[in-house]
Amino acid sequence: MIILCSSSITRAKLLRDIGIKFIQKSCKFDEESINVKDPYEFVILASLGKFKECVKCFENENIIVADTVVSDGIQILRKAKNEEDAKKILLAQSGKEIKIITSMWVRYKGRIFGRVDETIYEFEKFDEEDLENYLKSGEWRGKAGACMVEGFCKKYIKNVKGYESTAMGLCVEELLKIIGEENAY
């Protein structure tokens, strides 16, 4: 059994989809205290901080911790605080190339693994009416960069380099290499 140390519905779905048995619990970590501008540094510090807290909470358990950020190459596009913020963040991605970066830490059978993966998307310009409908739906809430590559953003993908699972918050392809294929399905 593995503990997914995240409240993310999307990360839980990714694990269920590949047949990993897990329970979902999390520990407190204040990622707002991280004050860096580099998206790679930020995501590593956030995921490592969460990992250290979860190691204390779940002393001898197998755990998975992840954090994800979106970057437009200039700034980190964090989770939107409200609809106006979500619109601003999404417009920064419209018609542009973005990087979705996920850092994952795993403690499995007493060993610790850490990695950073990225998926690069090039988006077409978002349709204004479609964007407004997405904003009103609230599906962007709790999503890094208000971005849903499996939802709203999917129809605007012009080009992609990397795994969709990385962009969804947990690179399951690499996770399976760590915990072994026999733990899936």
Alpha helices in the chain (DSSP H): 9-17, 39-57, 83-91, 128-137, 164-167, 172-179
Q: Find the catalytic residue in 30, 67, 85, 130.
A: 67
C-alpha dist (Å) from residue 42 to 20, 102, 124 = 28, 10, 27
Helix (H, G, I), strand (E, B) or coil at 148: coil
State which H helix or E strand residue 92 sits in. Answer: none
Helix (H, G, I), strand (E, B) or coil at 57: helix
Phi, psi of 156 (to 5 degrees): -100, 0
**85 assigned to active site:** no
Dihedral (Cα; 63, 54, 148, 102), 10-degree rounding:
-80
DSSP 155: G
Q: Among all residues, which ones are annotated catalytic?
A: 67
